[in-house]
Amino acid sequence: MLAATQLAIASAWAVYAAGALLVIGGAAGVVLGRNPVHCALSLVTTIFGIALLFIDQGADFLAAVQIIVYAGAIVILFLFVIMLLGVDRKEARSHEGPRSLLPVGVVAGIVVVVELLVLVRVHYWATGSKAVTEAANGPGENIQKLGQSIFTGYLLPFEATSALLVIAVVAAVVLVRRSAQGAEAHPQRRSAVTGRLTPPAAQGPAMAVPAVVPAGAATEHAVERDGEAR
Amino acid sequence: MTVPGAWYLVLAACLFGIGAVGLLVRRNILIMYMCIELMLNAVNLTFVTFSRMLNDLGGQDAVFFVLVVAAAEVVVGLGIIVAIYRRRSGATADDISALKG
């Protein structure tokens, strides 16, 4: 009897340790990795660790969603962008030099961790009031309780998320659409700086006018982009 | 389920700190984005831990919505990153300083 209890406690700690190892190791890989592809794969490791800890705490549905949405969609999206843009070469070691702010960033991160640990230590989370939603622990399937809670108490926010997703999809299409197609469809193109319409006659190959940034300096990138768009 | 909730909170705090450091010290925009995802995951872990400690399902509801918002945020953010990289290849966060003043 006593041995069984000890075994249960030991196994609980083992699960926690495995999850913590995955989470911290993956996070370190994301921060320290030089190759963005390796960083994305480390992010998957962290996400699996988080999902393990979710299951350990009884949030079965959220663990499944975590793996499906994060590892299955978000990280794949990251990898698509990495492959698409060819940015998987190593990051330039731009931290060298007199203006390196690396120590400042590390110190700020340590301050954040210490603050959070102090918050954990002074535990006044429990207000004593009853749960406004259902009880998380106890009998019943986790997914059933979560579904009832979302579709009754949080129905309006749930509907709002559908609008949010539609807006995000439209925004992504608008952002990524090549401006060259718009230029061909409409001969009159709006100048990005002034907002005025430029006449079609002025838009030849010779019209590689550099865009003027607010400071007044011409940027060479706009010229390159105009040339490549034709 | 005998591990006290405070251990999960400490782990989440460490994960949040690692994500914050990565966001501050890395120059690659994509990796900065991944560090934001790390911080979001840390907060999700905190929500689920409190949901268990306080026996309130509201924490898990919050995680559900955080996941949806994170997905939308990643879609828009990666769109912006693709647009930036298309204009100037190999840009890091330091190169995007047109609004510096």
| pLDDT at residue A133 in the model | 64
Mutation for testing the B interface, residue in A44, A53, A156 having most B CBs under 10 Å: A53
pLDDT in tens, A13-55: 999 999 999 999 999 999 998 889 999 999 999 999 999 999 9
A194, with CB counted inside 10 A (0-12, 13-18, 19+), is exposed
Mutation for testing the B interface, residue in A38, A62, A177, A223 having most B CBs under 10 Å: A62
The alpha carbon of residue A158 and the mean position of all alpha carbons in its chain are separated, in whole angstroms, by 20
Which structural domains are found in chain B, ordered by start?
5-89 (1.10.287.3510)
pLDDT in tens, B27-61: 888 899 999 999 999 999 999 998 988 888 889 99
B68 touches chain A (CB under 8 A): yes
Closest to A116 in 3D by CA, of B7, B4, B13 = B13
Closest to B15 in 3D by CA, of A49, A105, A124, A129 = A49
Do strands A197-198 and A189-190 pair parallel, antiparallel, or not at all (unpaired)?
A: antiparallel
Distance from CA of B57 to the nearest CA of A (A): 4
Which structural domains are found in chain A, ordered by start?
11-90 (1.20.120.1200)
The answer to whether B61 touches A133, Cβ cutoff 8 Å, is: yes
Closest to B18 in 3D by CA, of A138, A199, A147, A43 = A43
What is the arithmetic mean of pLDDT over B81-98? 78
For residue A184, pLDDT over 70 is answered with: no
Closest to B18 in 3D by CA, of A113, A95, A46 = A113
pLDDT in tens, A189-210: 444 444 445 444 444 444 444 4
Residue with tokens 């009159």: A188
Residue with tokens 């106890």: A138
Q: Which of A3-7, A122-126, A213-217, B21-25 has the highest mean pLDDT?
A: B21-25
For residue A229, pLDDT over 50 is answered with: no
For residue A85, pLDDT over 50 is answered with: yes
CB pairs under 8 A between A and B: 260
HSE-CB for A122 with a 13 A CA cutoff:
5
For residue A162, pLDDT over 90 is answered with: yes
| pLDDT at residue B92 in the model | 76
Percent of chain A having pLDDT more than 70?
66
| pLDDT at residue A214 in the model | 52
**H helix intervals, chain B:** 5-25, 29-53, 58-87
A8 touches chain B (CB under 8 A): yes
Of the partner residues A56, A87, A135, the one whose CB lies closest to the CB of residue B57 = A135
